[in-house]
Structure 1
Amino acid sequence: MGRAPSYAAVGVACLLLYSNSLHGDFVHDDIPAIVRNQDVLGSSPLLQLFLDDFWGTPMSDAFSHKSYRPLTTLSFRINNWLHGLEPLWFHVVNVTLHIACSILFTRVAVRIAGLQTKFALLAGLIFAAHPVHTEAVSGIVGRADILACSIFLLSFLLYHDEELGKRKVTLSCCLAGLAMLAKETGLTVLLVNIAYDLYKSWPYVKRSILDGKRSEESVRFARRAAKVLVAMSVLLVLRVALLQGSLPKFSAQDNPSAFHPCPHVRLMTFCYLAVFNCWLLFCPTTLSHDWQMGSIPLVTSLADCRNIATCIFFGCCLLLAYRCFADFENHRHSPLVLGCLFLVIPFLPATNLLVTVGFVLAERVLYIPSLGGVLLVVYGAQLLYDSGILRQRAALICSIIILLFFSLRTIERNKDWSSREALIRAGIKALPQNAKMHYNLANFHRDSFQTQLAVLHYREALRLWPRYASAHNNLGTLMSDGEEAENHFQSAISIQPGHVNAHYNLGQVYRKANRSQEAVTMLERCIRLDSAYTPAYLLLAKLQPGPIAGRLLKHVTRLHPTNSDLLAHYADWLLQNYRVEEAILYYQRALKHQRDHQGALLGWAKSHLSRGKTYYLHFALSRWRAMKQQNENKSRIYSIVNTADLFIRSWDLYKQGQVTSQFHHSTTPSVLYQYDFAPVMEKGLDSESLRGIPQQRNPGSKR
């Protein structure tokens, strides 16, 4: 089969395998990164997109996740601009990028690695069908990995593929920078480029070193290497500068091994995690969207049998490394060397050796390293095929079995990513001892008004992970007994003193018990923890005397000067306190930002009526009728919003253990304030609810 038919076959295979993922919903990290991200929704200036992290928090913020991927965020923004928040088109782009990656990898296999065409086709098909890629392809935020991989492969091909013309080293380095802007691991293509170039140029370089005579080839290599090293240094300096003086903050539940006090426990666990990642590449039987909270227990003793697997794995790695270095002389096994480079170098950032990462294991991180794993397997199949007739049959049978298993597993796994409930239940099935899975399922039951089931799973999460602050907080919001709720909120605060929602909810408990001074104290702590925590200001305004309440409400309007609900709320207070002229101004500001804001329109009419200007009432009533008729068609949408409890749905999936997840929020204000705050606040906020409250977007603020 020629190259063009091979590329076409790989593309068709991708499309068939992921066709059942196209109608999936926004799930897991899609909610904070897309649905609630102002940089994606277009409500923030385009420039702000290049100042914020992947989740929409300013990079200058001390609590930023520090994941800087503006190219990926820009692609989401374009998706939203073209088709709105329609999941289908987001999935279409992901699948298209996966097709591009699979085709580019097929070209790398045949042109650079030197595989036979039929085995290059096999490599492309296995990569296309690999089940570990479902998180990157079917989960929309996985676009960061797919986009980075596609640019990674383009950069590699421009550097090494002579069929594309003279080596375009400068353009390859520019593409590496773009890959880094899609996801940080994209930068590793520069290391892969220079390492593989050294391998190909080693005979000339060695001769120059030993004989002291520079050849033309060695000089060219030195120039290419200098360009790559300069580009890599510049990009690394820029990336470090983007951290703006602080590293991301993680907790023990994100990555328990990184926080263990014993160095030998950390080392043994990190080594075993490398083994486990490799196992997922070669035998992806157990897959999960979240591996936190004890999913992979720490290796605390030398007697742990998992150390045997670690020793075997690193023994094999040493043998492969020896074989690769030995091949520097004769270049007989280029696919072996290239496979090892693809497998090892892009995986280095996830090993915790360079920096601490915020996860135990993440399947989408394996998207680029899987290039190397697939190349090694297919090269082994080619060697087996070339060694005899009987082995040809064995290689053929093994290839068919692998492709069939991977394809069926991928199609089945895509179904897990179709909805929030399906993903959570798949996670529970795969990792029943993961406290985060039970917490997520409890949140789902809570949003579905199945309170008893929610309580059951919150308690199970606390049994598996007793120091789970968010589970204590959310469980407290479901307790009918005030004392029991208070105990849960206090437990959450004792575990995580910066848990702002637990402070707020405890303030609610005190208010209901007529312990007003304690409620005020707790709400003031909320504001000290997060100066833009809107619910605390609003509740304090209810508890404080008139002038102080007015100052609090006015401060909220300064925090959110374009939020019509808050502007109208302050205008109502002004009207109640007979400050009619000021009330009219704030009602007009609210209507300026939302022309169909009913509360602001009625308040504006009442203000004029109180001054005897009845002719304004006719105008207001006419406009009211027009808005009412328009909104009748949206009644179903409003009913859903009114039962959404501040759009808590699906928020549970954003890395709850990180400090980031407790304080920083991307929101759509118009969803939240279409109904009175009181019923929602009486119910209390869970650890996700604040995501729906508009937050200050001042990059210089500290919350």
Structure 2
Amino acid sequence: MHLTKSQKKYIKKNLRKLTVSEIAERIKVNEIDLQKQLEKDLGEEKLNKIIQKNPSFLNKVSRPLSFQWPGLKNFIKVNVPFLLLLALLVFGVYANCLKNEFLSDDIAGIMQEKHIGNPFYFLVHQPINFFRYFFYAIVYNIFGLNPFFFRLLNVFLHLGSVLTVFMLISLLYNLNLAIIVSSIFAVHPLFTESVTWISGGIHTQYAFFNLLALLLYLLAKQQNWRKKLYFASLISFGMALFTTEKSAILPLIIISYEFSFDKISKNIKKILPYFVLSGVAAMIVFAGGNFSSRVTALHSQYYQEKGFYNPFTQIPTAISSYLQLLFWPDKLTLYHSEMAFSNRQFFFMVIITALYFGLLITSFLKRNLRQYFFWLSFFLIPLLPMLTPFKVAWIVAERYAYLGSIGIIVTISLIFQKFSRTLKNKYLTYATLAVIITSLSVRTIYRNKDWQNQDTLWIAAARTSPSSPQNHNNLGDMYGRHGDLPKAAEEFQTAIKLKPDYGDAYHNLANIYRLMGKNDLAIENYQNAIRFNPNLWQSYQNISVILFENGKIEQATSYINKAIEVNPNNPDLYVISGYIFLNTGNKEAAKTEFLKALQIDPNNQNAINFIKNIQ
């Protein structure tokens, strides 16, 4: 780049006083070009001497990656107060969630998962999520089924992501920006679903390993592709991939970075292995049946409608919802079910989405705005796996936005930093940041209370998601547990009204009718449950029990056999079958069923007792 004499004079005079960003802004040149010119003019040796004499100089300039990295020890030494501050923020806002109970998917995925202590089982049966279960196994084998420590794992992973973001922004820009970005990321309430909810922590985990892989990639590049750093980056990416396939987006983030700050062709050979790893993960997902099982689960367990999303409604809804929750995180909920919008509301959502894509395209086309393109694309890229027209994900789920939100936080922080420089009032800047951080922290602490237990979660969801059939089903379960059977029945009926094919709600309503002594209504609703979800073996089982109690042995036998057909690995079903045979006088058939139960569960006490009685 060509600099005038006056520009060079200004640079020489202010290099040790101002950041490169400030100098570029005042002499009206591109910041990235100026950074490269400074390195060329100063020379690496001279620059390193300045850094060695004054390590904090690293935090006074917005430098390109070719500037000398001081090493991890020196970086920590210089930034200890800020690293401790970030740790304090993370534990300060999440301390009140650590005593929360297992919730929602935690119950089936952790509490009732009999292989939770054996990670190698998942290496065979669910390899794409192996590292999530690997960490679960460590926690379980040391602390048992204690939700405190499972949730603490999420908090530590979130802290790791926060510190990695701090290092990344320090590396790419300056200390002040790094503090702003990482502090907001540390306390923002949008991320409670990914941190406070144990099952949501899979997003925190893959984000941490992806961020670490990106940081190591950039450091390896800065040090002439140092092998240890480069391979450590690939290993970290591999750990992200085998936490969840959603992490396969990292190569696209790297491509976006190289386009924005360097040249893609220059480093394409170093980028290709990341694409290869993503391809391997994709093969495992599709060849191993993970994709089809996910689709089946959404249809059979969550009653997601089959077909495709309309991208012209899906994308504006998702993008505008995440942006709204980032700027005004009031309507946080596990179920974003309020998808019926007025024409005016949807028009507003389209405008927000169009504005976002307009900024993305503008920053793509203008070279001096490429850094904004990188961070704006950083928001979109992690959302891509959930923005496909295939119905394999919810349109909006707060956990999906965990990684991508960093891009918006950085973009806004860059604009805020430039604006604060024009004001030249550091006290106003500090006060504004203090208000933002405090407000977000308070909202996070209060949101953590919603995740305290099943009851508080469903009541909180009812306030923001009144049309969610899943939440009305959960509320019915809550009232049933507390013995309010009429209210429980009312909630299940509301769930069915909202979603007439909701098999689980029919099953739960039948359970309530059974407790009320209304067996005819119970059987009717169990049969509806089976009609909409043939995999509900519990409905077959309960019909069998009711029929047996009413002396209809042949029909009872038929239904228990159907339950076994759906779930052949449940020992209790064979015990029920054996008990029916036993009561008809067919001891040999009964014994056969009890032995089948013991083959599955050698310690099944009911089967053991019945066999003793037969003998």
Q: Pick one of 301, 305, 320 that aligns with 1:275.
A: 320
Match of 2:205 in 1: 147
Q: 2:573 and 2:604 mapped to 1: Cα distance?
A: 19
Match of 2:605 in 1: 565
Amino acid in the other structure paired with 2:525: H
Q: Pick one of 414, 418, 423 that aligns with 1:383.
A: 418
1:127-526 matches, cutoff 5 A: 127-161=185-219, 165-167=223-225, 168-202=229-263, 218=265, 220-243=266-289, 246-248=292-294, 249-251=296-298, 259=306, 264=310, 267-291=312-336, 295-297=337-339, 304-327=343-366, 329-330=367-368, 333-334=370-371, 336-353=372-389, 355-389=390-424, 398-479=432-513, 480-526=517-563
* Residues 381 and 88 of structure 1: CA distance in aligned 2, closer, same or farther (over 3 Å): same
Contact 2:320/2:349 (<8 A) preserved: yes
Secondary structure of the 1:27 match is coil
Q: How far 1:32 moved relative to its partner?
A: 1.5
Contact 1:255/1:358 (<8 A) preserved: no
Q: How far 1:76 moved relative to its partner?
A: 1.2
Amino acid in the other structure paired with 1:311: V
* Residues 272 and 253 of structure 1: CA distance in aligned 2, closer, same or farther (over 3 Å): farther
Q: 1:493 and 1:256 mapped to 2: Cα distance?
A: 13
Contact 2:217/2:230 (<8 A) preserved: yes
1:678-693 matches, cutoff 5 A: none
Q: 1:270 and 1:509 mapped to 2: Cα distance?
A: 48
Q: How far 1:272 moved relative to its partner?
A: 1.7
Q: 2:573 and 2:303 mapped to 1: Cα distance?
A: 33
Deviations 1:646-674 (Å, cap 9, x if unpaired)?
xxxxxxxxxxxxxxxxxxxxxxxxxxxxx
Amino acid in the other structure paired with 2:125: D
Q: How far 1:389 moved relative to its partner?
A: 4.2
Q: How far 1:570 moved relative to its partner?
A: 4.7
Q: 2:473 and 2:316 mapped to 1: Cα distance?
A: 29
1:547-566 matches, cutoff 5 A: 547-560=588-601, 562-566=602-606
Secondary structure of the 1:361 match is coil
Match of 2:157 in 1: 97
Q: 1:135 and 1:183 mapped to 2: Cα distance?
A: 17
Deviates more, 1:275-284 or 1:122-131: 275-284
- Which residues of structure 2 form unaligned runs of 5+? 1-58, 60-77
Q: 1:105 and 1:191 mapped to 2: Cα distance?
A: 18
Match of 2:37 in 1: none
- Residues 1:47 and 2:120 aligned together: yes
* Residues 223 and 104 of structure 1: CA distance in aligned 2, closer, same or farther (over 3 Å): same
Deviations 1:464-514 (Å, cap 9, x if unpaired)?
333322121112122212212122112222222332222222222222222
Contact 1:137/1:143 (<8 A) preserved: yes
Match of 1:632 in 2: none
Amino acid in the other structure paired with 1:554: L
Match of 2:71 in 1: none
Deviates more, 1:430-439 or 1:166-175: 166-175
Q: How far 1:232 moved relative to its partner?
A: 3.1
Q: 1:563 and 1:52 mapped to 2: Cα distance?
A: 25
* Residues 438 and 101 of structure 1: CA distance in aligned 2, closer, same or farther (over 3 Å): same
Q: How far 1:193 moved relative to its partner?
A: 1.5
Q: Pick one of 14, 18, 21 that aligns with 2:97.
A: 21
Q: 2:302 and 2:575 mapped to 1: Cα distance?
A: 36
Secondary structure of the 2:115 match is helix
1:570-585 matches, cutoff 5 A: 570-575=610-615
Deviates more, 1:97-106 or 1:85-94: 85-94
Amino acid in the other structure paired with 2:416: A
Contact 2:537/2:567 (<8 A) preserved: yes
* Residues 253 and 362 of structure 1: CA distance in aligned 2, closer, same or farther (over 3 Å): farther
Contact 1:384/1:395 (<8 A) preserved: no
Match of 1:34 in 2: 110
Match of 1:529 in 2: 566
Secondary structure of the 1:290 match is coil
Contact 2:207/2:247 (<8 A) preserved: yes
Secondary structure of the 1:485 match is helix
Q: Of Structure 1 and Structure 2, which has the larger fraction of its residues in helix?
A: 2
Contact 1:131/1:413 (<8 A) preserved: yes
Match of 2:134 in 1: 74
Amino acid in the other structure paired with 1:408: V
RMSD: 2.7
Q: 1:558 and 1:254 mapped to 2: Cα distance?
A: 28
* Residues 558 and 416 of structure 1: CA distance in aligned 2, closer, same or farther (over 3 Å): same
Q: 2:148 and 2:169 mapped to 1: Cα distance?
A: 31
Match of 2:45 in 1: none
Secondary structure of the 1:286 match is coil
Deviates more, 1:2-11 or 1:76-85: 2-11
* Residues 252 and 33 of structure 1: CA distance in aligned 2, closer, same or farther (over 3 Å): closer
- Residues 1:110 and 2:170 aligned together: yes
Q: How far 1:121 moved relative to its partner?
A: 0.4
Q: How far 1:357 moved relative to its partner?
A: 1.9
* Residues 73 and 123 of structure 1: CA distance in aligned 2, closer, same or farther (over 3 Å): same
Q: How far 1:414 moved relative to its partner?
A: 0.9
Deviates more, 1:547-556 or 1:459-468: 459-468
Q: 2:81 and 2:220 mapped to 1: Cα distance?
A: 21
Q: How far 1:457 moved relative to its partner?
A: 2.2
Amino acid in the other structure paired with 2:87: G
Match of 2:580 in 1: 543
Q: How far 1:143 moved relative to its partner?
A: 2.5
* Residues 487 and 7 of structure 1: CA distance in aligned 2, closer, same or farther (over 3 Å): same
Secondary structure of the 2:151 match is helix
* Residues 312 and 399 of structure 1: CA distance in aligned 2, closer, same or farther (over 3 Å): farther
Q: 2:299 and 2:593 mapped to 1: Cα distance?
A: 37
* Residues 255 and 421 of structure 1: CA distance in aligned 2, closer, same or farther (over 3 Å): closer
Secondary structure of the 2:440 match is helix
Match of 1:610 in 2: none
1:616-655 matches, cutoff 5 A: none
Q: 1:305 and 1:347 mapped to 2: Cα distance?
A: 25
Secondary structure of the 1:387 match is helix
Amino acid in the other structure paired with 2:113: N
Amino acid in the other structure paired with 1:451: L
* Residues 504 and 227 of structure 1: CA distance in aligned 2, closer, same or farther (over 3 Å): closer
Q: 1:145 and 1:244 mapped to 2: Cα distance?
A: 17
Deviates more, 1:192-201 or 1:157-166: 157-166
Q: 2:432 and 2:348 mapped to 1: Cα distance?
A: 24
Q: 2:176 and 2:133 mapped to 1: Cα distance?
A: 37
- Which residues of structure 1 form unaligned runs of 5+? 54-58, 60-67, 206-217, 576-703
Q: 1:377 and 1:48 mapped to 2: Cα distance?
A: 44
Query: TM-score scaled to structure 1, two decimals?
Result: 0.70
* Residues 98 and 225 of structure 1: CA distance in aligned 2, closer, same or farther (over 3 Å): closer
Q: How far 1:260 moved relative to its partner?
A: 5.4
